[in-house]
Amino acid sequence: LGGRDREQIRAYATGTDSQWYAELGFTAHKLPVRWQDERDYDATAQLVAQARSALGSDAQLMVDCYMSWDADVTRQMAAHLAPYNLYWFEDVATPDQLAAQAALRADIRPVLLAGGEHEFTHFGFREIAQANALDIWQPDITWCGGITAGLRIVDLAQQVGAQVIPHRGGEVWGLHLIAATECVDLAEVLPGTRAAQPDPLWLNEPPVVDGVIIVPDTPGFGVVLNEDYV
């Protein structure tokens, strides 16, 4: 949908099994982390260090904070994790804290701030743009209004110089937006773990091979519902 300006897209793995993702050929990886207390500075650093060791010095690493950090934690984490050369911190705060996130951006460089999956129309991204709150916008195509809204969001991002990397972009809904627009060449997938890989809700989804997804050229989104789930 929307045309196919690229035939393949690099994927990044979200999850905790860093070594397995490296074996699968991923060159980018996002770790889910949550803040509970001061011990999490070292605990998070240990997770990131393990991921860096598994994927190598050239891989892109990110962390998803699940809105569990505040401004002080974010600044201190940026310093604590500096040796590991992270690409972005995702959802450090709740979506309404735009001014606070805008104030953080300069303080945590070169790490970028990412977010936006919890915006449910393109109008929310106008507010993000006006606040200059985020470096990376992450609309979820199944939540923000579909491909049409996604196209509007990408257009707005280009106007203000923001990067767009859709939430769950490795699923076909987001994959089509990435393939048709100026989104960053990076699509999120959730492989699970060796012991618990996800069951296919949709059939004919393009697989990840050596860290890359081949964009389908079949009609529509190119998938059909797995009737075993109905």
Active-site positions read: 167
Six token digits for residue 113? 């701030």
**Secondary structure of residue 215 in the 3-state scheme:** coil
Question: Residue 176 and residue 118: Cα distance in Å, rounded?
Answer: 20
Burial class (CB in 10 A: 0-12, 13-18, 19+), 166: buried
For 19, other C-beta atoms within 10 Å of its C-beta total: 13
Question: Residue 117 and residue 139: Cα distance in Å, rounded?
Answer: 5
Strands (DSSP E) found in 38-182? 60-64, 88-90, 112-115, 136-137, 163-164
Alpha-carbon distances, residue 83 vs 61, 111, 198 (angstroms) = 12, 12, 33
Residues 52/169/182/26 CA torsion (nearest 10 deg): 30
- C-alpha of 20 from chain center: 19
